[in-house]
Amino acid sequence: MRELTDSATALLPELVDLRRRLHRRPELGLALPETQSALEAALAELPLSLRKGAGLSSLVARLDGARPGPTILLRADMDALPVSEENDVAWRSEVAGCAHACGHDAHMAMLVGAARLLCERRDRLAGRVLFVFQPGEEAWGGARIMLEEGLLDAEFAGQVTQAFAIHQFPTLPSGSIATRAGPLMAAMDGFRITVRGRGGHASTPHETIDPVPIACEIVTALQTWVARRVPAFDPAVVTVAKISAGTAPAVIADYAVLEGLARTVSEATRSLVLDGIATVAKGIAAAHGASAEVAIGTGDLAGTPVTVNDPAVAARVLSIARQLFGAARAIELAVPIMASEDFAFMLRQVPGAMAFLGTRPSDATRGEPLHSARMMLDEAQLATGAALHAAFALTALGA
């Protein structure tokens, strides 16, 4: 294992350079042509078969081992966020209103590093490795679309036996590897509630059915409902993040719109909460003589399921981390986190796991969180991620 970490460390300057080039030119959503092209160039000299997506700028690189065997999937996400970066660094985003504030640039660099490490060790592989670069993780459904396009079908049908992904975390101690068996990250479902009342003059509210106070009552009632109906040890978070209504101060609107997200860590609570949102909204609206239309988890509100780690695979990830980096850097998480991740779609199809890689900068007592305009990461951990990806594949394929 030591020779693997040494090789990864030797690659670090190359990985940092790639990460910074990707960081300068972030792209949003499913169409990421510059990012895809940069990855193609980074992988061009390696003995890999490359395949591009049809409806999105995905890239899948296949490495065939020296002997036959199962197929292992390693995944990195590619897309950035609609965030204006505030870091004063030489490699800051050159694209207005767009930045890699979640660290997907680091994920791609780590997976390219793993591809280099594994190509050098092809003779030790009994099977194949798929390096999956996935667009559209940030609420665009990229993983689901890749599966619909046949990521696991045709030549790989029934052959992909394990999947693994890493997500960097700038609030965790640098170099730590954290994961757990079972639920790791929450399901996420978007909802939109349209409260329809009857508009009129602001001086005569009694002649109207004002949707604004009704909408406000729904917001507070949802918080009470969650606190009193959802089990404390099977949690849910319901957040109304956007409210829109009206056109002028003197006009009572005909309708108000609430938009938000529900996050849960079990399918039972997910179903309970989604039903509850509709029941509360419609009941409160009806009590005031209004109506509520509720859309949940469809169209632009489509969410992601719970990210569930296979217990055996999660245990193996922690075992590998201990061997590579020492027991102090392997952390078994006690509880899931309430953020979500569309790698969950792949884990529904293939046993596998996701792990968090701590990347807190050395000069920070508390790193800026994911999605912050000031998020920074410890680039030395690109080598850690590359080595962990590679070790996962090597141990899974019997080497």
Q: Give the residue numbers annotated as catalytic, written as ranges.
A: 79, 137
Sheet (strand 352-358) strand order: 49-52, 59-64, 126-134, 67-77, 160-169, 352-358, 177-179, 330-332
CA distance 358 to 9: 17
CA distance 360 to 337: 18
CA distance 343 to 75: 8
Local structure of 307: helix, strand or coil: strand
CA distance 312 to 182: 10
Q: Which residues contact 257 (CB under 8 A, 6 or more apart)?
A: 192, 193, 194, 195, 242, 243, 244, 245
Report the length, in residues, of the chain: 399
Q: Exposed, middle or buried: residue 10 (CB in 10 Å: 0-12, 13-18, 19+)?
A: exposed
Amino acid at 226: V
Contact indicator for 374, 87 with CB cutoff of 8 Å: yes
HSE value, Cβ hemisphere, 13 Å, CA-based, for 315 = 3
Contact indicator for 215, 243 with CB cutoff of 8 Å: yes
Contact indicator for 396, 163 with CB cutoff of 8 Å: no
Instruction: Please list the residues that pair with 198 across neighbouring strands.
Output: 209
Can you state the angle between helices 381-396 and 2-24, rounded to 10 degrees? 120
